Structure 1
């Protein structure tokens, strides 16, 4: 690998980052749903369900697009030393980051198709099967790509790179009371 080619993170690192991202997003979405219920005076979860789902999707779109266009890293990506950039290594613009977010939902397509073919209609079973099959199929697609990039990165001309933290300067702080 040359010095100009960014390091490609392994699939296990990216999947671990996705799990951590899910844990963080639980709090973000819980807070957003709580605010939505308060503002709309929603008392029953079955009433206004579509509005809540669309609101949470908008929150997710804003969350990812904001972080990806402001440094290329979400909180979980910082922890796992991952960064999303365009093919030239530049930071994404907000519109480009939003397009990547929309394209990232493509991994549900094979999962939903497998639910349809298997006749699974019970929601918990369908979600579990969708997650398992979708993640597996999408990861297998990344395995055959020469740079191990997911389909949405290929389509959006973006890439996830491994970006280790910069070494800190280990000098002690100098102040007026220090020699």
Structure 2
């Protein structure tokens, strides 16, 4: 399967840390809303059908739903699907569109699903040691974070669009 080229094309500079963090904050807000919707559908829709209202209330009050592995897995899959769709389609999540940054391969093509999977999980790991995986770009000669390097992708800053 050939990779599709993203538009606009060009040799764009790497996106800086502040711009990337700002885009992540926007996406964080969207992800919180997405988690709330999926959690509501799962707990008030699916679990209510399975257990019924009274038993679901009893389970909830007993704390039996606090660490639900099915819900945790569903949320992880949902978040990955959110990012993978945007990254592999046009290289930008909604937050990235606002801040004018894009994920792409070095040749300007969209990343594939495997790269998106690597980026997603390694980006989570990049936060664990106090964000060192993100701060790494400040010392890296190519301005790459850990997840950029391992997914063989780059985050570029797009030029501002001219109003017509």
With the length of structure 2 as denominator, give the TM-score of the two structures. Answer: 0.78
Looking at structure 2, the residues matched to 139 and 96 of structure 1 have their Cα atoms a distance apart, in angstroms, of 17
Relative contact order, higher structure (CA 8 A, sep 6+)? 2
- Highest CA radius of gyration, 1 or 2? 1
Shift of 1:10: 1.3
Moved more, 139-148 or 13-22: 139-148
Give the corresponding residue for 2:81: 62
SS where residue 83 of structure 1 aligns?
A: strand
Query: Between Structure 1 and Structure 2, how many residues are aligned?
Result: 143
User: CA 1:108 to 1:46, structure 2 compared with 1: closer, same or farther past 3 Å?
Assistant: farther
> Root-mean-square deviation (CA), in Å?
2.0
Looking at structure 1, the residues matched to 84 and 135 of structure 2 have their Cα atoms a distance apart, in angstroms, of 25
Looking at structure 2, the residues matched to 142 and 79 of structure 1 have their Cα atoms a distance apart, in angstroms, of 22
- Alignment map for 1:22-171 (pairs within 5 Å): 22-37=28-43, 38-41=45-48, 43=57, 44=60, 46-47=64-65, 49-110=68-129, 133=130, 135=131, 137-169=132-164
Looking at structure 1, the residues matched to 32 and 120 of structure 2 have their Cα atoms a distance apart, in angstroms, of 18
Give the corresponding residue for 2:13: 7
Query: Runs of 5+ in structure 1 lacking a partner?
Result: 111-132, 170-179
With the length of structure 1 as denominator, give the TM-score of the two structures. Answer: 0.72
Looking at structure 2, the residues matched to 19 and 70 of structure 1 have their Cα atoms a distance apart, in angstroms, of 21
